[in-house]
Amino acid sequence: MRWKDYFIPTSKNPPKDAETVSHKLMHRAGLIEKISSGIYTFLPLGLRVLRNVENIVREEMNKAKGIEVLMPSIQPASLWKESGRWEKMGKDMLRFKDRHGKEMVFGPTHEEVITYIVRQHIKSWKQLPLLFYQIQTKFRDEIRPRFGVIRAKEFLMKDAYSFDMDEKGLDISYQRMRETYFKIFSRCGINVTIQKADSGVMGGKFSEEFVAEGECKELEVGHIFKLGTTYSQNMKAYFVDKDGKEKPIYMGCYGIGIGRTVAAIIEGNYDENGIVWPVSVAPFKVIIVPVNMDDENIREKSESLYSELIEKKIDVLIDDREESPGVKFADADLIGIPLRITVGKKLKEGKVEIKIRKENRSVEVPLENSVRWILDFLNK
């Protein structure tokens, strides 16, 4: 990608309401734009990170035999009345009537919808176990949105729902999700601890939270629940067991805040100059900085390096702006690209400078070896 063709509105000043490092840096690095209290647009760079996190989540969920679906944001109130949560939910659930006067909600979670789908199609023990998941937009009317995307009103979430024959099956599904979550957060470059939690309006008997390490103690990034048979009994999601008896399905549910995970990654990966993305989620893996776009040799060598990296399918950004090297270096640090290739005065000796953002050190590499060097580094 060429910086001049792209949209990365970096800034020196964090927003006034920003209390956390991630909120400040997400704004300053041009990842998000506030539209209203607790409501954000993901700008191009932020969206790239969001998609990278999504893909890690998707890969690990698929490995755990998760089946992806996409449920609607808007749900009929009738399902919430069946489950018994219509009365239990507080003011953070957005309720409204459609133009025909039918009561609807903007779903803050999807136990009701998935249970409705399962009861239509699952009749026998032979069809179990099942694990469904989606990556979908949710809305909770937070009384006090804060910390940027960490406690937002509208947010992207991965929510998963397991369906088992009995409590033993549920335990196995739960354990598999628990392990999957550790893999996901590790791949995202986040250290998490797990702690017992209150199940709240989800109900069920047992739940655990995944809390990311970092200064901001808010950051539950994941929450997993053993729901048992509360929903299946209330909503009549039964199956016929091996012995011919009708039984309620055992359920679990498993959430990851995708936007929150992006913020948590920053909380654990930054320095005084900006974000330090782990390679796995970085919006671009490499940024090429030609120190002077008017110098023909510098421009040509930068362009050919850029083309070569694209050919090797490396996500690369070239800073082709007519800005001073100082501005370009500061922005490259701020947006946290893992490798910065400076094409400048060392070119006379046939070399480029490669700065490793995380280690804050540079190496000089002969131009002709630079692509090999970059590939080796990224594949480490």
Site residues (vs a second copy, CB under 8 A): 5-7, 9, 33, 35-37, 39-44, 47, 50, 65, 67-76, 79, 91-92, 94, 96, 98-99, 102, 104, 106, 113, 116-117, 120-121, 130, 132, 137, 139, 141, 143, 153-154
Residues in the chain: 380
Provide long-range contacts, Cβ within 8 A and 24+ apart, for 99-104.
Answer: 102/76, 102/77, 103/76, 103/77, 103/78, 104/74, 104/75, 104/76, 104/77
Shortest gap between Cβ of 121 and a second copy (angstroms)? 5
Shortest gap between Cβ of 28 and a second copy (angstroms)? 13
Shortest gap between Cβ of 72 and a second copy (angstroms)? 5
Closest CA to 10 of 1, 26, 2, 22: 26
Shortest gap between Cβ of 196 and a second copy (angstroms)? 30
**Beta carbons of 194 and 179 less than 8 angstroms apart:** no
Shortest gap between Cβ of 137 and a second copy (angstroms)? 6
Alpha carbons within 13 angstroms on the beta-carbon side of residue 340 total 27
Closest CA to 364 of 356, 355, 352, 375: 352
Nearer to a second copy, 71 or 330 (CB): 71
Shortest gap between Cβ of 51 and a second copy (angstroms)? 9
Nearer to a second copy, 102 or 205 (CB): 102
Nearer to a second copy, 69 or 201 (CB): 69
Burial class (CB in 10 A: 0-12, 13-18, 19+), 124: exposed
Both tokens of 194, joined, read 């797990």
Nearer to a second copy, 154 or 220 (CB): 154
Nearer to a second copy, 67 or 172 (CB): 67
| Alpha carbon distance 84, 89 (integer Å) | 9
228 Cα distance to chain centroid: 28
Residue partners of 69: CB distance under 8 A and separation at least 6: 114, 117, 132, 133, 134
**Beta carbons of 259 and 149 less than 8 angstroms apart:** yes
Shortest gap between Cβ of 298 and a second copy (angstroms)? 22
Nearer to a second copy, 92 or 167 (CB): 92
Measured from the Cβ of residue 346, the count of other Cβ atoms closer than 10 Å reads 16
Nearer to a second copy, 65 or 168 (CB): 65
Longest dimension (CA), the chain: 81
Nearer to a second copy, 73 or 292 (CB): 73
Kindly state the DSSP code that residue 124 receives in the 8-state scheme: B
Shortest gap between Cβ of 370 and a second copy (angstroms)? 26
